[in-house]
Structure 1
């Protein structure tokens, strides 16, 4: 019997599309690729998720690659908040699940500054009973590392066979399923309602 539903945030409940954001800035294709490679796809981004470097350290490391000026990097990082927005199609589903008697948890890779901003900004977070966000936990605690799943299950005494996990990234789902958790792979956020109905959650 399912009692718990775990949500990833990015591309499930929170929009995260840096390529679209950079297009909105009207940057040419070559410049967009530099931003994507040096910031969003760089190891500094993952280190911020892990909580093992500060924003200032990340900026210095990105600038040291020699392709972006400090001011440009700061501008992009400061603007992250503007593109971490609610996926309005899915937000009402969170309360429906909660109203149906399930416990709700977060399991997400996220840096400190943008997470704290969206947690304060968006009311839907109040429906959650707890969660694990990578930056809070320390070195190498990031999906799909086993330790982040261990922390969530032990902290809230969750039984895998009573738990569903929703994530847009297949490898994260596969790791959860190794524990006996039921996975819902969500590469397209518009499919969430359909998948929740299929599992009998709403």
Structure 2
């Protein structure tokens, strides 16, 4: 395995350091988010015909939510501490340490990839290979769902995420990166932040690997 890039090491170390606090903070985040649950439910319906992986799964709460919706889903995360927490909390589910730019999966082996706020820490110039990797592991017709912070202007904007630097993306630009990697758009949604969230519009993109 090649040595991870410096920003990957920094991201893993940062989340290792706050894993327990983060898991507690994020544990019930979907409870008051009907629009997010609806988009995740649509993804689950489209991807339920085969295995699904959440990349950047953190402590596993979204993996568990989608498992309850009937998906054959597992999780991958850079942070060993996050994976330990996920395994402890959801022992019936599968979680592995790994990087979403080099997944230990066969070509075309998945029917769905979920990236729920996991590409937000990737420097913009480093992001295109991630979409190439998502395309590689998805079977033709498989679906990719992205959750992210939307930039309200026309440029990618960095911000202090408190854990490690993150980036907000114009939704059209993120969709264009996915199209360049061989995806077609199925649907999109933006919503305003709720109380207690960061004061940024939230974006969701549902893409399908071209046949």
Q: Please indicate the TM-score interval, normalised by the length of the shorter structure.
A: 0.3 to 0.5
Q: Which has the larger radius of gyration?
A: 1
Structure-1-length-normalised TM-score: 0.38
Structure-2-length-normalised TM-score: 0.37
Name whichever structure is richer in helix by fraction.
1
Whose relative contact order is higher, 1 or 2, with alpha carbons under 8 Å and at least 6 apart? 1
Name whichever structure is richer in strand by fraction.
2
